[in-house]
Structure 1
Amino acid sequence: MKKNQILILTLILFSLSLKADEVSVAFGEKLPPFVMPELNSGIEVDIVREALAVKGHVLKAVYMPMARIPIAFKNHKVDVVMMDVGVDMDLLGGYYGNPPVLYDNVFITLRKKKIVIKRPEDLIGLRINSFIGAQKRYPLWLGKLSADHYIEKNDQSSQPMLLSLDRFDVILCDRNIFKYYSIESQKKSRFKNFEVEEHSFVTVNPQDYRPVFYNKKIRDDFNLGLKSLTKSGRIKAIYDSYLKKI
């Protein structure tokens, strides 16, 4: 009887050790191809899911407006937030991890127009379509632009189409988001194929895209998983799966 009890206890402990930890992670509401709540996937979501899984953790993705992310972390509503949205999470007991993705915002123009953008003054007089909040983020470049030449939209899906139809001279967008929507736009009859020129104007700072964890061990497990995915080439494969041309 005693042996049976020991065996049962051993089996229970073994089964508990196999049970993965569920980790709730707050992502922004919607930003294809990085975050796609309707599919519970996206480049960023998939990388985080697989990085956590390396050490047996299971992702529970929570999607919310960016403004709510630091509040959710402060109130312990989630275990992890993707990006601190400008709030110092060290003060809230957070542990910063390595960024799973980087957002690289660039100016995009039609190559045939031969537009040169090397300084803020080069944007004066050009019709520019950007994302919400860009003017506040890049005041040196966008702060002096007039409202009749500059517009910000939350939905960036139409940017490739608008550029191809010459509705705007310049699009400000993350290069991978623009590439994704360009691929999607090719399915529409009004879309005109075009070559673009990318104009880098700021240096990407990885510090801006670091996730924050309440649990130091889970942070370490995530960093280890991320390193493993990078070394194996899996991260590139995830990017390619969303950005393959038709």
Structure 2
Amino acid sequence: MNQKHHSGGKRSAVDITKKLSFIIAFFILCLLSDKGFSENVVVGFGIDKPPFVIGSSKKGLEIDIFREALAYKGHTLEVVHLPNKRLQKALLTIQGIDAVATVRQVPGDGLYYVDDFVYFDNYAISRKKDNLKINKVSDLVGNSIVAWENAYRDLGATFEELFQPVPPKPYKKYYIEHSSQKGQNEMFWRGRSQIIIVDKAVFEWHRKQLGKKYDTTAEIVYHSIFSGKTYFQAAFKSKELAKDFEEGLKHIKRTSMYDHLYKKYTK
């Protein structure tokens, strides 16, 4: 009698263990279906856009935003640095790169884009002593200007119409797009351009750094002639990775992590 009761107790213990194992397995499957399968994601970033991308150091605001958004779905980030102008081409032609940051969508290129990844607060900036009257985009014409590479595509229809390379016009010889934002800022502080068009945080970062080499104490005027923030996208080869990143980006914006990172790098 006692032996029979003992055998039944063993069976009960086994049944409970099986049920617990099933519950745990079910819970893990639920987690996996929610988070997807984690992956090491190789992402191409530009070079020399501090504080957004700090040299080739694999550090900067863009990189931290990308890392946090991927982490929401369990992915890890591997950073590679590429020339700013060749990011999309690299994604399309180089095997092993999964995504690139801070680009503009090209219709029909077969990539998957996530909107509003990062934004820039762009201004036309001049020295107060020059007393320039810049109240609208067309007021820029006739002044010497330095901007970033392909800026004519990023600052609205009026700016593009005025400063796109073709057709050539006499005033365009005073407009320069520089491949390096450090070089762009150096041109301004060396007096080789009257106006620099750049994100305010980028300008102030270089102003501080270049103060060791140039006099950057001149009083400055920020001409707010561009309509709001300039947003850029992230591009992916994989539709699934793009979806995961988009969900992660929404999450870090909803939880204020996105704003926290901006303040960390730009204040």
On whether the aligned pair clears a TM of 0.5, the verdict is: yes
1:194-222 C-alpha deviation (Å, 9 max, x unpaired): 3322223443686x621122333322222
Q: Which residue of 2 aligns with 1:80?
A: 99
Q: Which residue of 2 aligns with 1:141?
A: 162
Q: Which residue of 2 aligns with 1:239?
A: 262
Q: Which residue of 2 aligns with 1:30?
A: 48
The reply on whether 1:58 has 2:59 as its aligned counterpart is no
CA contact (8 A) 2:58 2:80 kept: no
Q: Measure, in 1, the Cα distance between the counterparts of 2:248 and 2:240.
A: 12
CA positional deviation for 1:189: 5.8
Q: Measure, in 1, the Cα distance between the counterparts of 2:88 and 2:187.
A: 34
Cα separation, partners in 2 of 1:195 and 1:235, compared to 1, 3 Å = farther
Q: Measure, in 2, the Cα distance between the counterparts of 1:95 and 1:135.
A: 24
Q: Which residue of 1 aligns with 2:207?
A: 182
CA contact (8 A) 2:122 2:229 kept: no
User: Under a length normalisation based on structure 1, what TM-score does the superposition of the two structures give?
Assistant: 0.74
CA contact (8 A) 1:73 1:79 kept: yes
Q: Measure, in 2, the Cα distance between the counterparts of 1:36 and 1:101.
A: 15
The reply on whether 1:100 has 2:113 as its aligned counterpart is no
Q: Which residue of 2 aligns with 1:203?
A: 227
Query: Can you give the 5+ residue segments of structure 2 that lack an aligned partner in the other structure?
Result: 1-16
1:37-94 C-alpha deviation (Å, 9 max, x unpaired): 53211111110011111221101122212443333332454221224555225x41x3
Give the letter for the 2:180 counterpart. D
Q: How many residues align?
A: 232
CA contact (8 A) 1:161 1:191 kept: no
1:86-137 C-alpha deviation (Å, 9 max, x unpaired): 5225x41x32213221234321112344322134553344332333344576
Give the letter for the 1:80 counterpart. A
Query: Can you give the 5+ residue segments of structure 1 that lack an aligned partner in the other structure?
Result: none
Cα separation, partners in 2 of 1:104 and 1:70, compared to 1, 3 Å = same
User: Which protein is bigger by CA-based radius of gyration?
Assistant: 2
CA contact (8 A) 1:180 1:242 kept: no
Q: Measure, in 2, the Cα distance between the counterparts of 1:158 and 1:182.
A: 12
Q: SS at the partner of 1:211?
A: strand
